[in-house]
Amino acid sequence: MNKTTQTVIIGAGIAGCATAYFLAKQGIKSTVIDNNGIASGASGYSAGGLNPLVGHGIPGKLSELAMYSYQKHLSIWDDLQQESGIDFDGRIIDLLQVSLTDTDTKQMQRTFDIFQSTVHPNFSAELLTRTQIQNRYPLINSSVTSGVLASGNAACDSYKLTLAFATAAEKMGAVITSDEAIGLLTKGGSVTGVQTHNSIIPCDSLVIAMGPWSVNASEWINTSIPVTPLKGQIIRLNYPPLDTYPDIEIPSLPEASIHPKPDGLIWCGATKMEEMNEPFSSKQPTDHARNTIMEKILQIVPSLDQSELVLQTVCFRPVTEDWLPIVGSVRDYSNCYLATGGGEKGVMLSSAIGEALADLITTGSTNVPIANTSIQRFSKNISIK
Ligand SMILES: Cc1cc2nc3c(=O)[nH]c(=O)nc-3n(C[C@H](O)[C@H](O)[C@H](O)COP(=O)(O)OP(=O)(O)OC[C@H]3O[C@@H](n4cnc5c(N)ncnc54)[C@H](O)[C@@H]3O)c2cc1C
């Protein structure tokens, strides 16, 4: 076992807090620093869905890690809730995918096949006719021709889950502090400390978990960290008649999923807008994004025009060009690790990322399937020296 006594984690989003939690479980006390507070980035505002069967890279290179992390979440959630004292609304949910077009119907059939053929016992699917949908879910647009009810995805309140990781880690000795990392201290091939606005924090291992801001650490480690921000807006509506419905989506209407939440609100979205030129410039919700979401969800549930708009939120997904996260050590510093690039699955991937990094820091290896996530895959333009 490596002799690690002091790990510093930059970023108290879900990647950083999960890492602190899994380190604490292995007896390693870490210091987590964040300039904006726990879950102040995307981790505090995501839709909180854990869908390991569909998405960018799934089926594909992300499949194994996604399913691993989904199962890891479910296996630790009871303990985590007890250890932290925080109820993060972890649960298994149903997804109703409905069809308005032939293309939707093909996609729906694909969803049915994927959920139906998945070996994990949580997953199943049922094809529904128009009449069955109208009988069970009378608020759904009557133009819908068919649907699939897919069971087995999980969901949580991602703000509370991040807080739970942080709180449980703190109870086991982690320290969470408010400060901004502005550089590193290095000696030979090792990082020896983090320079913040207020102090130098010594470390014998370092995790960079700065979400879409990870790119700012590129110069610190002489390696380009190719993560870009993908802005997303969600609107939260008050509409009690939909409270007992499953999550609802139409494949041809992306950015307009409907998520009835345990908080009694209907979360709708999320938009996907690249902000390459002015990253993070506009954390304000826009009318355009709200109107886009409203226009689409009214095609699914027309009576949502009676709903009351309660809140709009904006946050930034940390995205890589292949939609796989970046997990593992960096080239120039053997004790420096990256935990970023969770993209639109960062909440779901957080348990696997946290466990993998804790393993790497304490033992130098891990059984978590992170083979496709090394930063070396971008090596053609990696050096910024
Ligand atoms: C609208 C929307 C919906 C989403 N829905 C889902 C979903 O349903 N399921 C899912 O799995 N994922 C979802 N995601 C993606 C998920 O939210 C993110 O992938 C995940 O939260 C990223 O976590 P993170 O810890 O890597 O980054 P962040 O949450 O962004 O945390 C990074 C932290 O680093 C801190 N930081 C940055 N620079 C510094 C510095 N120099 N010094 C100190 N601290 C610093 C920031 O303040 C921030 O708190 C969604 C994202 C969006 C935007």
Q: Which of 1, 18, 7, 5 is closest to 355 using CA atoms? A: 18
Atom of ligand 1 nearest to the CA of 155: 8
Q: Could you tell me which residue, 141 or 256, shows the higher pLDDT?
A: 141
For residue 43, how far is its CA from the centre of ligand 1 (angstroms)? 4
pLDDT average, residue stretch 9-36: 97
DSSP 383: B
Other Cβ atoms less than 10 A from the Cβ of 178: the count is 13
**Residue 1: which pLDDT band, with cuts at 50, 70 and 90?**
very low
The CATH homologous superfamily of the domain defined by 7-77+158-225+321-381: FAD/NAD(P)-binding domain (3.50.50.60)
Q: Give the Cα separation of 323 and 319 in Å (integer).
A: 6
Q: Could you tell me which residue, 198 or 141, shows the higher pLDDT?
A: 141
Q: In this structure, are residues 249 and 328 in contact, taking their beta carbons and an 8 Å threshold?
A: no
- pLDDT tens-digit series, residues 310-323: 999 999 999 999 99
Residue 283 is predicted with a pLDDT of 79
pLDDT(2) > 70: no
pLDDT averaged over every residue in the chain:
94
Q: Which of 267, 253, 236 is closest to 300 using CA atoms? A: 253
**Residue 284: which pLDDT band, with cuts at 50, 70 and 90?**
confident
What lies within 8 Å, CB to CB, of 170 at 6+ separation is 176
Residue 279 is predicted with a pLDDT of 55
- pLDDT tens-digit series, residues 165-221: 999 999 999 999 999 999 999 999 999 999 999 899 999 999 999 999 999 999 999
pLDDT(274) > 80: no
For residue 16, how far is its CA from the centre of ligand 1 (angstroms)? 10
| Ligand 1 touching residue 315 (CB < 6 A) | yes
| Ligand 1 touching residue 11 (CB < 6 A) | yes
Assess: ipTM above 0.95: yes
Residue 273 is predicted with a pLDDT of 81
pLDDT(258) > 80: yes
For residue 40, how far is its CA from the centre of ligand 1 (angstroms)? 8
pLDDT average, residue stretch 228-236: 95
pLDDT(277) > 90: no
Domain with CATH 3.30.9.10 in the chain: 92-152+229-319
Is-cis flag, bond preceding 59, omega within 30?
yes
pLDDT(8) > 80: yes
pLDDT(139) > 80: yes
**Residue 285: which pLDDT band, with cuts at 50, 70 and 90?**
very high
Q: In this structure, are residues 127 and 112 in contact, taking their beta carbons and an 8 Å threshold?
A: yes
Residue 3 is predicted with a pLDDT of 45
Q: Whose CA is nearest to atom 20 of ligand 1?
A: 346
Residue count (the chain) = 385
Mutation choice for ligand 1 from 46, 275, 282, CB with most ligand atoms inside 8 A: 46
| Ligand 1 touching residue 150 (CB < 6 A) | no
What lies within 8 Å, CB to CB, of 39 at 6+ separation is 12, 13, 14, 17, 158, 159, 162, 163, 166
What lies within 8 Å, CB to CB, of 64 at 6+ separation is 369
Residue 254 is predicted with a pLDDT of 87
CATH code given to domain 92-152+229-319: 3.30.9.10
b/e code 215-249 from CB counts within 10 Å (16+ = b): bebbebbebbbbbbbbbbbbbbbebeebeebbbbb
Q: Which of 382, 381, 4 is closest to 191 using CA atoms? A: 4
pLDDT over 90 percentage in the chain = 92
User: Which H helix or E strand runs over 355?
Assistant: helix 346-363
What lies within 8 Å, CB to CB, of 191 at 6+ separation is 184, 185, 203, 205, 206, 333, 335, 336
User: Which H helix or E strand runs over 229?
Assistant: strand 228-238
| Ligand 1 touching residue 338 (CB < 6 A) | no
Domain with CATH 3.50.50.60 in the chain: 7-77+158-225+321-381
Q: Give the Cα separation of 344 and 20 in Å (integer).
A: 22
